[in-house]
Structure 1
Amino acid sequence: MVEHRTPVPPMYRFVANVLRPPLRLLMDYSVRGLENLPESGGFIVTPNHLSYADPFPWAHVLYDRGIAPVYLAKSELFDSAVLGYILRHAGQVPVERETSSAAEVLGRAVQALDRGQCVAIYPEGTLTRDPDLWPMRGKTGAARLALEARCPVIPIAQWGPQEILAPYGRLPRLFPRTTIHVRYGPPVDLSDLYDDGTPSAEACVEATNRIMRGITDELEVLRGERAPAVRFDPRAHGMPLTGDYTRGARPVSRG
């Protein structure tokens, strides 16, 4: 049994033990960049988001290395009686998206980092709206947390979960077994943006851009191609920022 760096709630261990066998059955992992993970202390991971299946592979890899990520997860997941109970007792943190209360969870996240935990934030805030599944424009929550906590930020790129479950898909493709490619990038350098006070809006935007660039750089390696020069912005296309934008919608293009 792997010894974890920080205490892991019993519910977390239970869910992990239930999920690990089917994950290994459905997925094969190709992993690079584990040497970029900090040896100790709290840190943030920022994965790209292209499928409801993608929170599991990179976290499975970390868990097997003794790191149990704490997710900042959308509050809607906590509304379910069963799932909400599991998430709360597993020590996960709900976030009210697109509201002022989203900033209030940063204090709990900073405390987790101070305890030496790994905190996971999807900086896009939802599944990418990019028609080619490149990382889209990020939100500033991950950057603000990183600047307040002054801890390492590890960008994570993954490619393959969308083959198991398409964006906003409901029925997974269970066979044949899918190879999930994961890259943990080097820490994003934000040290020049640190301030003694509350991070400025300009610093948060710049930090967000660097984090998204770090994720995209790693994904370019996985995909063997270059991302578009301009990051996709759902606002510019009149798209909702949360929820399933595909229902009754016309196909989206970059033009």
Structure 2
Amino acid sequence: MVRRPVPTTVRVIRFFLRPLLMLVTRRDWQGMEHLPDGGFVLAPNHISHLDPFLISHFMLDNGIAPQFLAKDTLVGAKGYGWILRSAEQIPVYRDTEGAAESLRAAATAVEAGRVVTIYPEGTITRDPAAWPMSGRTGAVRVALMTGRPLVPLMQWGPQEILWPYAKRVRLFPRATIHIRVGAPIDLTDFADQEVTEQVLHDATDRLMNTLSAMMSEVRGEVPSTPRIDVHTLGKPKTNYK
């Protein structure tokens, strides 16, 4: 059963987009038994501009109305910004005083029984081999604020359709979208501690380590270079396809 009514905008997008996604992708979805009842934070790696559509496809097919924490520049944009707002996405004002208010809005939604998707990296990976980077602390903050589960979701395959920061879409041959939902991240050892920056970073490292391990299992390999620190990012690197 869907945890909350699906906004009309989302239903319209799904009506037109789902048949196309069914046509141009194969789906290898596993771990749905780890999706908790009630509200929780869903924390996926970020691998392509197509992520929101493919994750929403997965969520809707599993009875979850998608609600993302999205950059304020997207939600506030003309045209498609109205679509995001009417789809009830939550704007995040990153690196501003409004960031805390964004997380409170996300926490309120989770406490109300909704599922809020928060990309811990905060942006598409800049890793040349598309491995997860380090994470920002938003997803962990909301989970600790609410006491609700923090659920990792690993995806691999969207980059076959649209490589990070590339402009060329490749629909055929059909890409297989691998999605793995992991068991909720165990944060019990942090629950009774003061929520310091160190606690948040340690918990976020645990989340990112889990996502990397899940990806390693699907890809059959491990990263060959150190994890990129999201806090040191500049412009997208030029060695992307």
TM-based fold match above 0.5: yes
- Quote the residue 1:210 is aligned against: 206
- Quote the residue 1:245 is aligned against: 236
**1:112 aligned to which of 109, 114, 127:** 109
The answer to whether structure 1 residue 222 and structure 2 residue 213 are counterparts is no
SS in 2 for 1:136: coil
**1:233 aligned to which of 224, 229, 232:** 229
**1:18 aligned to which of 16, 19, 33:** 16
CA contact (8 A) 1:155 1:211 kept: yes
TM-score between both structures, scaled by the size of structure 2: 0.93
CA RMSD of aligned residues (A): 1.8
TM-score between both structures, scaled by the size of structure 1: 0.88
SS in 2 for 1:23: helix
1:20 Cα deviation from its structure 2 partner: 0.9
**2:144 aligned to which of 147, 150, 156:** 147
Alpha-carbon separation, structure 1, partners of 2:42 and 2:122: 14
- Quote the residue 1:29 is aligned against: 27
CA contact (8 A) 2:69 2:90 kept: yes
SS in 2 for 1:94: strand
The answer to whether structure 1 residue 50 and structure 2 residue 69 are counterparts is no
1:147 Cα deviation from its structure 2 partner: 0.8
SS in 1 for 2:68: strand
The answer to whether structure 1 residue 97 and structure 2 residue 94 are counterparts is yes
Give the counterpart letter for 1:52 in structure 2. Answer: H
Alpha-carbon separation, structure 1, partners of 2:12 and 2:165: 27
SS in 2 for 1:109: helix
The answer to whether structure 1 residue 87 and structure 2 residue 84 are counterparts is yes
1:235 Cα deviation from its structure 2 partner: 5.0
Name segments (4+ residues, structure 1) moved above 6 Å.
none
1:190-242 residue CA offsets vs partner (Å, 9 max, x unmatched): 12212486x22111111101111111111111111123474222555xx31xx
Give the counterpart letter for 2:133 in structure 1. Answer: M
1:25-83 residue CA offsets vs partner (Å, 9 max, x unmatched): 11111011111111x11011111111111222232122112101210011121233221
CA contact (8 A) 1:12 1:91 kept: no
Give the counterpart letter for 1:13 in structure 2. Answer: R
Amino-acid identity (%): 45
**Matched pairs, number:** 240
Give the counterpart letter for 1:214 in structure 2. Answer: T
Alpha-carbon separation, structure 2, partners of 1:43 and 1:229: 32
Map 1:59-70 onto structure 2 (within 5 A): 59-70=56-67
| Structure 2: runs of 5+ lacking an equivalent | none
SS in 1 for 2:27: strand
Alpha-carbon separation, structure 1, partners of 2:231 and 2:224: 17
1:121-174 residue CA offsets vs partner (Å, 9 max, x unmatched): 110010111121110111111111111111111111111111100111122112
SS in 2 for 1:85: helix
Give the counterpart letter for 1:225 in structure 2. Answer: E
Alpha-carbon separation, structure 2, partners of 1:228 and 1:117: 37
SS in 2 for 1:183: strand
1:76-130 residue CA offsets vs partner (Å, 9 max, x unmatched): 2123322111111111011122323222111111111111111101100101111
